[in-house]
Structure formats: C-alpha cells, structure tokens
Amino acid sequence: MLGTGENIRTGTSIASLKKAILDNLYYIQGRTPELATKNDWYMAVAYTVRDRMLRHFIHSLKRMQDAKVKIVSYLSAEFLMGPHLGNNLLNLGITDQTRQAAKEIGLELNDLLAQEEEPGLGNGGLGRLAACYMDSLASLTVPAIGYGIRYEFGIFDQEIHDGWQVEKTDKWLRLGNPWEICRPEISYEVNFGGHTAQYLDDKGCFRVRWNPHRVVKGIAYDTPVPSYRDDMVDMLRLWKSEAIESFDFQAFNVGDYYKAVDMKVVSETVSKVLYPNDEPEIGKTLRLAQQYFFVSCSLQDMIRIHLARGKGIETFHESFAVQLNDTHPSIAVAELMRLLVDEHLMDWDSAWQITGKTMAYTNHTLLPEALEKWPLPLFKRTLPRHLEIIYEINRRFLDDVRHRYPGDDGLVARLSLIDESGEKYVRMAHLASVGSHRINGVAALHSNLLTRTVLKDLYDLYPDRFVNVTNGVTPRRWIALSNPSLTALITRSIGDRWIRHFEDEIRKIEPLADDAGFRQEWRKIKRKNKARLAAIIQERTGIVPNPDSLFDIQVKRIHEYKRQHLNVLNIITLYNRIRKNPGQEIIPRTFIFGGKAAPGYFMAKLIIKLINSVAEVINTDQDVAGRLTVVFFPDFNVKSAQHIYPAAELSEQISTAGKEASGTGNMKFSMNGALTIGTLDGANVEIREEVGQENFFLFGLSAEEVHNEKARGYRPRDYYDSNPCLREVIEQIWSGYFSRGDAELFRPLVENLLNHDPFMLLADYQSYIDCQDGVSSAYHDQERWTRMSILNVARMGKFSSDRSIREYCDTIWNIKLTKGG
C-alpha cells in the first residue's frame, strides 16, 4: 500500500519506494524480479532515487531562467564525482527507507551500492575538488552548472601483475548510466582547423570569418547534483562529441559511405578518453581539441541561456561567473572573445571588458614543467582563428606592459602569451591570467609561492587580481557517507547540524576529547573501520592485515614529488631494526599504499614495483610476522577511498615542501580522525595551524630551506655517506635484496636518488625517521592518541568545501549567499 497521498515517483515512505523499485524494474529495465540481475536491481533503485530528485532539479533549472540570478559556471576538464547512489540517498535523506524497501524485496542495499561503477572522469585531486565544489554549491543553494566532457573511457582501471601496474580500459558506461539525462536537442557545433578570411561587413566594419576544416557537434548529458537536504539541485552538464548530420550527407551524396562513417568515427574520438596524466603532456592535438570542444559548447550554451533571459549580450557577465579549473579550459578567454566579436559583432574593447569580468582562473600547480603550453604550429593548425585573437590580446597587453615598464624587454618576453625563447609556444596560464579578473591558488602557501615564482611577473603587474582560496572537501561524502559509525556517534553527541554547517558546528565535539567514555567509543569505531578495510584488502590482495596494528596510509597519485619512496625508506629502516633485534618491542604497523601512475611515467611505475617488492619480502618474513605488513591497494578510486580514509590512523602527507599545491586527501584523512605526518607543504600548513602543532607530526625541510639547499648545490651523496642506516637501506634496494637478486631493477631509482634527488628524500630522511619514531611512541599511549584524533576532527571546520565556496562567492564571483550563511 502506498502512504496516503504519496506519488509513485516522489513518495519516500518504505511502501512507495518498494513499489517504485518494482515498477522501474518492470517498466525501465523490462524485467520481472525472477529474471532480474543484480545490475537490473541496481538500475531500478537508481531510477527510483533519480525520480525523487527531478522535481527539485526541474525547479532549479527554471530558477536559472530568472534574469536576476547569477549562475556559477565551473569549467573543468575533469569531474571525479564518485558513485552516485549512496551520495544521492544521503543528500535526499532516504537511505534508511530505501534500505528497508530493498530488504523487503530481498535485496541488500550494500550489494546494490557495490554494483555501481563509478564515473572516473578525473585523474586525482583536481577532478575530485570539482566534485566537492559541486556538492557545496548545491548545498549553499548557489545556482551552478559544472561543464565538462563526457569521456566514454575515464581514468584506466589499475591491476597489479607481478608487482607492476597494468592499465585496463575503464568501460564505465558498459551497463548504462541511470544518472544522466541525454538532451539531443541541446547541441552545438564546434569548428576545427581550416583558415580565416577577412571581410568588411555592410557597415564597413572589419570582420573575420572562420572557414573550418572540420565541424563536430557536442550533445549535452545532464546529471543532477542534489544539495544536502535542501531544494536546490544543481547540474553537471557533460558534452559528448558526435558527427554532424551534414557531413554524413555530403559523403552519402557522392556515394562514399566509408568516408561518411570515418568522419563519424573521427568526430566521436574527441570525447572518447580522458588523458591519464595529472601533468599535461605537450603536443597532443586531441587534448587541445577536447579542451576547445567542451569550452566552446559550454560558452555557446551560456550565451543561449543568457539571451533566453531576454537580456542583451552586453550584460553576459551579469548572468555568469565562469571559473577556469586550471588552464585546461583557458581557451575560454579567446573563445568568448571570438563569440562576442565574430558571432555577436561586438567591438573588441567591450568584448574584452565582458570577458575579464566573467572569467576567473584557479591555478593548481607550482611545478613549472606542468604549466600548460601548446606548440604554436599545432595550435595554429587546430584553432587558427583563436591564434589570431590571442595575438591581438597579446599585442594590446604587451603595449600596456611596455607603457608601464619602458625599455624592459626581458619582462615583455617573460610576460608574453607566446613563449619565443626557443620553439614557440602559447602559454595558457598567461592567457588565463590576462583574461581573468581574479587568479587564485589553492592553499595559503601555494598562493604565496605563486606570486613569487611561476606567476611573479603577472603578480607584479596585477597584484589586485591575486587571491587565495584554500581547498576544502565535502563532509557529506567524506564523513557522513563514508563513515556512518562515526557520523552516528557525533550526531548522538552534538545533533546533526554539523553535516550541513560543518564549519561552525564540528568544533562542538572538542570538549568530548576529555570524556573517557567518548574516547572509548571513538576507538571502537576506528577498530571496526579497520577490520572492514582489512577484509577488503584480504579479498583484493590476499594479504591479511592485523586490525590491531597501526594503519599507516598513503593514497594519492604516484609521483616522485609526493615521495611514496620516502615512505618505503622508513619501512625498510624499521624492517632492518627488527632483523637485527628480533625480540624488540615495536608498534605493529600496516603500511597501505594506493594510487595510479601515469602510464608513461617510468619512475612512478617503478615506485609501485618497489612497494610491491618490499611487501613481498616483508610480508613473508617469519621474524616480522604480524608486526610489519605492507599493502599496495590496487585501483585506488573514490569508491575504495570511502573505505580507506575511515580506517586510517596515520595519514602520510610527505611531499617535498613547495611542491604540493594543496592536497585534499590530507583533509579527508584528518576529518576521519587520522593524525598527519607531514611536511610544511600545501594545505598541511593550515591543517597544522588549525589542529595545533602538538596534534600534528611535522618533519622535513621547509619550502624556503629546500630552496636554499638547492641554491647552495645540494649533494644527496653527503647524506648517504654520513648516515649508516640510510646507506644500508639504499644498498639493499640496489643490491637486489627486494628483487630476488636482480641488481638492475631498481638501479634507475637509486642512481637518481644518489646523484640528483630532485625531491630531496635523502635530505629529509633522518627527520622523517625520527618523526615516525615519535608517532610510534604517541601511539603507545592510546588515550593520548585518541584525544589527538578527536581534536583533529573537531578542528577541521575550515576544510569544509562549504567554506571554500563561500570565499569564491565573496571574493571572486560577487555572489551573495541567501541561505546557509
């Protein structure tokens, strides 16, 4: 029986949900319960949940037609949303009813949650940040559209074979995607290649026409992004590339069927696959095509929405605040100019004003080699009209620079949008900066270093444009969804307002750090989460971790600057101590690693092999049995992350100071009660400030010390020569101790450390080891450790993405928050 007055599509009583699931199974999946597969059931439940978002979704889209409302347009080549079902149930507040409804049908909700294949449309932190920001935008009831690419294949699935990473195609769409709504009628044409022609229009004005070589079409796929327990449902609009019909036609007319099909294949290639690098790779035409493709569709869509509000094009910036998530979408500066000047016939100066007021740019990296630049010939071949526009932007920009700094040719060359120091390149960070009214870094240290290193000249020119917005993560997915037991405990203690108002409310658990009963429950929950993770690890790897050992975890992309191999040096050091003194008492530890290496990044892949090789030796050594365990958790992604963070006790944030822009995993760990061992890098600095230095394990050189040591001429070999423990560890790796006698395998890694060590592992080694000893002794005192853990969570308010979004609204988008403030 349905609850009184309940609708089959919207009702949230157990009876309504149950009926709806069975209905959707029949009418959407075309199955009866007897024949339904697990995926059929998952789909039926997913559609049932989606139905319950649509009323608010449609209403929110209607609100976007209101000319008074400014819409945030978050342009990002990556959105790492994670599995939708659990999160949507949570945000709608119908998890318990749905669990019960499923149960009455004979289904386990957890099995259905496990059935969902996550959309891995991102590489790491940058893509996941975009997803957290979408959650906060909706929850703060800010109208927002996330614009990106609907990659057919997301980030590869990682398998481990013989200790090595093997990449497998991610076929996430294979079984269908119930969360998206395809909108074939929302589509735009995007041009590529060809040439431009100048002409005088009927008023005698100089105009440019672009005659492209190729045209593809972008189709919108919309995914609702619900707020946490509020009416707002924002939208993720991803573009899929397709062939335009006219091309098929032409070929058909001359009877060339195969050419028509070829054209279709080429067009569909644009949104085919996510580039699996978290640093850009120079010279991939397809990547530039992807960037331009999604940016052009998105800007055309925004202009359509703006004009549909009945407003003139000259007020575009009042309708949209466009945020460029790194330089990947920075072609938007030139594309908006093209649309305004060439298509909407606006004069250059007005168009430039509007562009600057609309755009803002977030930088996510300090690694100079990671700043995107495109070889000029490639750029010209792909986007001839945009190159002309960029030249014109550059001409005016550099005139201004010359005017302000007469005679400084060096400065002009450094600031130019075109790098002419050797082979010519278009500098995308410069384009983004010149075309934006705000430029931000993602943590205080990072923003500060930006103005002193990679963007220094731009900062000197436009100091008022630079601001900091420290990253944040959503406490909904990362605590309420991932850690239900902790969520229940906190809610029992301080009520449930903390989930929505994390910034102010979570602090209320601070006094409970002194409550022995609370501490005991806290520990029980951690123990339970560890046991749950241990079971998953056993299932995935065959390794059986001891749930009473200290869970010491490093999960993130594999990169030399993140220094997973420094962690390995500590593991081997501990191992050597036990070998020499088997009877000694030590705190048992389980070291867990997870993360993907870019497929072409040799050293990162070798680090994975090293971890697995060390694991093999240590895990099978009877002398250490149960005391040290090393695990490489394969295929780290959002789904597995939700099991990993809640089980962590120690969070490894050990990048070389000055290299990690912010980090966001560091926040997820700390929010789940892990203590951090870390350097003064990225947001670690602010996390330590918030939780208190006595609740944070700090080690290593500061960014400034790293800089100075390098300036003095860093010699890693000096550290090697003078530290016997370090020497022993390096020699073991070198000699084949962990590679069955193969002394060649890890040679590139060891030689790099001894001769160059660009990330200064050897300089930080002893400080890291000492700090790890401090961790062990702190862990010895479980009451003290628990107190520190509680204080970490209590003081994480600042790192809610709600706070970040509030700051973006205030200092960048000029949007007044109506609610939740």
Residues designated catalytic: 364, 556-557, 562, 664, 668
Please state, in angstroms and rounded to a whole number, the distance separating the CA atoms of residues 77 and 74.
10
User: x/- string (CB under 6 A) for ligand NBG, residues 641-660?
Assistant: -------------------x
Residue 700 structure tokens: 């290593």
| Residue closer to ligand NBG, measured from CB, 545 or 658 | 658
Residue 165 interacts with ligand NBG (CB under 6 A): yes or no: no
Give the pair of three-digit tokens for residue 226: 């619900």
Q: Which structure tokens are listed for 504?
A: 């102010």
Shortest reach from residue 651's CB to ligand NBG, in Å = 14
Q: Which two tokens stand for residue 801?
A: 């993405």
Mark residues 278-297: x for contact with ligand NBG by CB under 6 A, - for none: x-------------------
- In the region spanning residues 358 to 377, those forming contacts with ligand NBG, defined by CB under 6 A, are 364-365
Pairwise CA distance, residues 505 & 479, whole Å: 14
| Pairwise CA distance, residues 558 & 554, whole Å | 10
Residue 707 CB coordination number (10 Å): 16
Say how many Å lie between the first and final Cα of the chain, rounded. Answer: 41
Local structure of 608: helix, strand or coil: helix
11, 663, 678, 820: residue in contact with ligand NBG (rule CB under 6 A): 663
Query: Shortest gap between Cβ of 431 and ligand NBG (angstroms)?
Result: 17
Provide the residue type at 529 as one letter.
N
x/- letters, 304..333, toward ligand NBG (CB under 6 A): ----------------------x-------
What is the total residue count of the chain?
821
Considering the complex, state which of residue 141 and residue 567 has its C-beta at the smaller distance from ligand NBG.
Answer: 567
Residue 126 or 417 having the CB closest to ligand NBG: 126
The least CB distance from residue 684 to ligand NBG, in Å, is 10
DSSP result, 250-302: HHHHTT-HHHHHHHHHHHHHTTTB----SS--TT-HHHHHHHHHHHHHHHHHH
- For the segment 94-153, give every residue that binds ligand NBG (CB under 6 A): 124-126, 129
Q: What residues numbered 549-608 form the site for ligand NBG, per CB under 6 A?
A: none
Least separation in angstroms between residue 664's CB and ligand NBG is 5
Q: With respect to ligand NBG, which residue has the nearer C-beta, 365 or 629?
A: 365
Beta-strand (E) ranges in 465-538? 466-468
Nearest-approach distance from CB 295 to ligand NBG, in angstroms: 17
Structure tokens at 20: 């709806």
**Shortest distance (Å) from residue 663 CB to ligand NBG:** 5
Cβ at position 561, least distance to ligand NBG in Å = 9
Q: Report phi then psi at 183, rounded to 5.
A: -125, 80
Rounded CA gap, 42 and 39, in Å?
5
Identified binder of ligand NBG from the candidate list 662, 670, 676, 801, rule CB under 6 A: 662
Pick one of 471, 487, 672, 786: the residue that binds ligand NBG (CB under 6 A): 471
Helix (H) or strand (E) holding 55: helix 38-63
Pick the closer one to ligand NBG by CB: 126 or 654.
126
Residues 434-453 that bind ligand NBG (CB under 6 A): 442
- Which residues, in sequence order, are bridge partners of residue 348? none
Q: Does 661 bind ligand NBG (CB under 6 A)?
A: yes
Q: How near is the Cβ of 605 to ligand NBG at its closest, in Å?
A: 19
- Asked whether the beta carbons of 321 and 72 are under 8 A apart, the reply is yes
Residue 450 near residue 466 (C-beta atoms within 8 A)? yes
Identify which of residues 318 and 660 has a Cβ nearer to ligand NBG in the complex. 660
49 neighbors 85 (Cβ within 8 angstroms): yes
Q: Cβ(383)–Cβ(213) under 8 Å?
A: no
Q: Binding to ligand NBG by residue 667, rule CB under 6 A?
A: no
The residue to which tokens 């107190």 are assigned: 787
**E strands in 455-588:** 466-468, 550-555
Which residue number, 682 or 716, has a Cβ lying nearer to ligand NBG?
Answer: 682
Residues that bind ligand NBG (CB under 6 A): 124-126, 129, 278, 326, 364-365, 442, 471, 660-664, 682
